[in-house]
Amino acid sequence: MSGILVITQQKNRMSAETLAAGQQLGAALNLPVSAAVIGTSDAGEFADKKLDHIYTVDDPLLKAYTPDGYTAALEQLIRLKKPQFVLLPHTYQVRDFAPKLATRFQQVLVSDVVDFRAAPGSVVMVRQLFQGKLNADVKFGGEAPYFASLQAGAFRAENAVRADTPVSVESVPVQLDASKIRSRPEEPFREAQRAVDLTAASIIVSVGRGIREKENIPMVEELAKVMGAELAASRPICDNGWLPMERQVGSSGQTVAPKVYIAVGISGAIQHLVGMKGAKTIVAINKDANAPIFEVADYGIVGDLFEVVPALIEEVKKAKG
Amino acid sequence: MKIIVAIKQVPARDSQLRVDSAGKWIQTSGLSFEINEPDAYALEAALQLKEKNGGEVLALCAGPAGASQTIREALAKGADRALHIEDDTLNDLDTLAVSRLLAKAAAAENPDLILTGLQSDDLGYGQTGVVIAELLGMPHATLIMEVEKKDAAVRVKRELEDGWFQHVELPLPAVLTIQSGISKLRYATLMGIKRAKTKEVKRLTAADLGVELQPTITIDRVYAPVRTKQTQILEGSAKEAAAKLVEKLKFEVRVL
Ligand SMILES: Cc1cc2nc3c(=O)[nH]c(=O)nc-3n(C[C@H](O)[C@H](O)[C@H](O)COP(=O)(O)OP(=O)(O)OC[C@H]3O[C@@H](n4cnc5c(N)ncnc54)[C@H](O)[C@@H]3O)c2cc1C
Ligand SMILES: Nc1ncnc2c1ncn2[C@@H]1O[C@H](COP(=O)(O)O)[C@@H](O)[C@H]1O
């Protein structure tokens, strides 16, 4: 067992982040780093990165993603190349197959990793608990390979080191059996066109579960109105039907980058943060000084939103004359 | 159709969490607990499938004795029976060890469908359903928003990133991990609460199930995250803080 294998997902920007993280881990442990590209024989965007090898794993049965197909193919690749560490981007697709893949090796995927500390003989993965309120250092055990998936935005794609010599691309044949692929995936689709385009807004006022009841939403709506802002929400608000889905910000909603994002009663779970971290200025209003949202906020008000929001409406009105 | 729903009891959402003296988990005394949010949606999906197609809904929970409160709530909402794997040491385990327990208990019931939440609010591994499926040799699908029963199959709607979705058909028996928001949650009725008291809760231990409680990965240390960003906290009364914020927005950020 040796080396680090980064499993990439096509057309997903988190793959480049994972590659950069793989190179970092490789440098710390003195291990060679390779990447796997699945479902195509084109090394594509990874061909210019500093890597030991790029393995392409292609087969007609890998054209459409299925957990059975991907697990079978990657299990064969890993048994053949015997990496010590397997790193993956924590995408929805990886969430779907990587726990299954790790189980094949009697291993546990350390999922959603935000950082690591590594020296030869000692590797600690850092992941969040309680929706980002606490961190945990996690250690691998049992026999390698050790699996970890990396959280969106935790590592910087720009840090990926480029190759000075062309990387060797090796096509790895796999044996797949159509009868063992049990799920029948259909074409991905989008729901009807969104009526609200939050991406164009320069100010967004976003409301979370701190608002408690549907009846309280108009208060935040008014704040948005006096500020000339679009109204957005975290997932539970849309799940409850208090605001339409199209106003949801986050990994399963819209990704926004306004000049100002005001988070009202939002805790700051990673799935929300990935949708709004790109805002130029972030304001958080939250009664819990330890809420993870303060990790990304430029300005914070620690207090009860039911006092702060009405006061804010007044002050904005005053300022606007 | 026989449906098993895996429900986990987790600390209530707004709990003030403190790391325990060993630094390996949180202090649990004094906390209140509730059902893990996506698991409530998984239970709702199971109850609706039963209402449409007939059958039985079983709640499956591994947790300390105190988890029986969450189990009772599931029964009050309409689950027919429950399996409670009682264990106080689960926090020392990992997904694989817990999944072995859950899979073993589930297998003995020969279910057509196993539903889990997509992620737990405490550990947040987001894996248990998928690992159970692999251990039982069943097909699975994750992040499910809709379930439609077909002959010996289900057709489900999966959530993908950025507002994309996909339908997938799977033969039964299968495992689905349910995303929050799949449909509106019901409340337990008074009648339901009364009836729950008479419903069967089967208690099991790891020893009964013949599962060795051995973790593969271990949590070495739990701690408050170190803040890297300097947030300017605007102090004062609500009015003072609001005034300060407006000033910042007007003169520094220049959006007002
Ligand atoms: C695969 C996956 C995809 C997801 N996709 C998304 C997504 O796209 N978007 C998204 O938002 N989430 C998403 N989630 C859910 C996410 O993990 C969180 O559960 C969610 O963002 C929490 O929403 P919240 O912050 O509004 O609620 P909570 O976490 O309940 O936070 C409420 C906050 O309000 C504060 N509060 C309470 N009362 C007051 C008061 N009176 N005054 C001030 N503050 C108060 C509390 O301190 C707390 O911080 C996803 C989860 C998964 C697993
Ligand atoms: N101890 C447990 N008892 C019952 N169900 C569980 C338990 N742990 C995890 N689950 C189920 O697995 C899902 C995912 O958990 P996790 O993999 O920890 O994120 C949860 O939403 C539950 O449905």
Amino acid A284: pLDDT: 98
**Global ipTM:** 0.96
Q: How far is the CA of A321 from the centre of ligand 1 (A)?
A: 34
Interface of A with B in 35-74 (CB under 8 A): 67-68
B interface mutation test: which of A71, A137, A140 has the most B CBs within 10 A?
A: A137
CB distance A89 to ligand 1 below 6 Å? no
Q: Cβ B163–A253 below 8 Å, yes or no?
A: yes
Q: Range(s) for CATH 3.40.50.620 in chain A? A: 4-180
User: Stretch B215-229: mean pLDDT, rounded?
Assistant: 92
Is the CB of A218 inside 8 Å of chain B's CB atoms?
A: no
b/e map of B224-237 (b: 16 or more CB within 10 Å)? ebeeeeebeebeee
Domain range B2-204, its CATH number among 3.40.1260.10, 1.10.275.10, 3.40.50.620, 3.30.470.20:
3.40.50.620
> CATH assignment of A4-180?
3.40.50.620
CB distance B13 to ligand 1 below 6 Å? yes
Check: CB of residue B115 under 8 Å from CB of residue B178: yes
Residues 6+ apart with CB under 8 A from A186: B166, B167, B168, B169
Amino acid A92: pLDDT: 96
In angstroms, the CA A160 to CA A174 distance is: 29
Amino acid A231: pLDDT: 98
**Which amino acid is residue A130, in one-letter code?**
F
Give me A172's structure tokens.
């790895």
Report the percentage of chain B scoring pLDDT > 90: 91
Q: How far is A120 from chain B (nearest CA, A)?
A: 18
Check: CB of residue A95 under 8 Å from CB of residue B141: no
Q: Range(s) for CATH 3.40.50.1220 in chain A? A: 198-320
In angstroms, the CA A149 to CA A129 distance is: 15
Q: Hey, where are the domains in chain B?
A: 2-204
| pLDDT classification of B89: cutoffs 50, 70, 90 | confident
Residues 6+ apart with CB under 8 A from B100: B135, B211
Which residue shows structure tokens 């469908």? B113
CATH architecture assignment, domain A198-320 = 3-Layer(aba) Sandwich (3.40)
Helical H segments across B57-120, by residue range = 68-77, 95-107
Nearest to B35 by CA among B58, B66, B56: B66
- CA B80 centroid distance within chain: 19
The DSSP line for B198-226 is TS-EEEE-HHHHT-----SSEEEEEEPPP
Angle between helix B37-53 and helix B68-77 axes, rounded to 10 deg: 30
**Closest Cβ opposite residue B238 in set A190, A235, A308:** A308
- pLDDT per residue over B133-166, tens digit each? 999 999 999 999 999 999 999 999 999 988 899 9
Pocket lining for ligand 2, CB < 6 angstroms = B 6-8, 36, 38-39, 60-63, 90, 95, 98, 102, 116-117, 119-120, 123-129
Residue B66 pLDDT exceeds 80: yes
Q: Cβ A191–B217 below 8 Å, yes or no?
A: no
User: Stretch B205-228: mean pLDDT, rounded?
Assistant: 93
| Chain mean pLDDT for chain A | 95
CB distance A294 to ligand 1 below 6 Å? no
- The alpha carbon dihedral of B118, B119, B125, B129 has a sign of negative
Which residue among B93, B114, B116 has the greatest number of ligand 2 atoms within 8 angstroms of its CB, and so is best to mutate? B116
- The DSSP letter of residue B250 is I
Torsion of CA B238, B239, B245, B249, to 10 degrees: 140
Amino acid A1: pLDDT: 56
Residue B246 pLDDT exceeds 70: yes
Q: How far is B99 from chain A (nearest CA, A)?
A: 10
| pLDDT classification of B92: cutoffs 50, 70, 90 | confident
Q: How far is the CA of A95 from the centre of ligand 1 (A)?
A: 20
Q: Atom 7, ligand 2: which residue's CA is nearest?
A: B8
Nearest to A262 by CA among B15, B97, B248, B21: B248
Half-sphere exposure of A274 (CA within 13 A, CB side): 21
For the entire predicted model, the pTM comes to 0.96
Amino acid B20: pLDDT: 95
Q: Atom 9, ligand 1: which residue's CA is nearest?
A: A250
Is the CB of A253 inside 8 Å of chain B's CB atoms?
A: yes
Backbone angles phi, psi at A262, to 5 degrees: -105, 110
Check: CB of residue A100 under 8 Å from CB of residue B131: yes
Report the percentage of chain B scoring pLDDT > 70: 100
Check: CB of residue B28 under 8 Å from CB of residue B88: no
Residues of B whose CB is below 8 A from A272: none
Check: CB of residue A266 under 8 Å from CB of residue A249: no
Is the CB of A187 inside 8 Å of chain B's CB atoms?
A: yes
**Closest Cβ opposite residue B141 in set A130, A131, A183:** A183
Which residue among B4, B5, B8 has the greatest number of ligand 2 atoms within 8 angstroms of its CB, and so is best to mutate? B8
Amino acid A45: pLDDT: 84
Beta bridge partners of A108: none
Chains A–B, number of C-beta pairs less than 8 Å apart: 249
* Tens digit of each residue's pLDDT, chain A (321 residues): 589 999 999 989 899 999 999 999 999 999 999 999 999 999 888 889 999 999 999 999 999 999 999 999 999 999 999 999 999 999 999 999 999 999 999 999 999 999 999 998 899 999 999 999 999 999 999 999 999 999 999 999 999 999 988 899 999 999 999 999 999 999 999 886 677 889 999 999 999 999 999 999 999 999 999 999 999 999 999 999 999 989 999 998 999 999 999 999 999 999 999 999 999 999 999 999 999 999 999 999 999 999 999 999 999 999 988
Q: How far is the CA of A246 from the centre of ligand 2 (A)?
A: 29
The Cβ of residue A42 has, within 10 Å, a number of other Cβ atoms equal to: 14
Check: CB of residue A87 under 8 Å from CB of residue A148: yes
Give me B242's structure tokens.
């609001």
Nearest to A145 by CA among A103, A94, A112, A96: A103
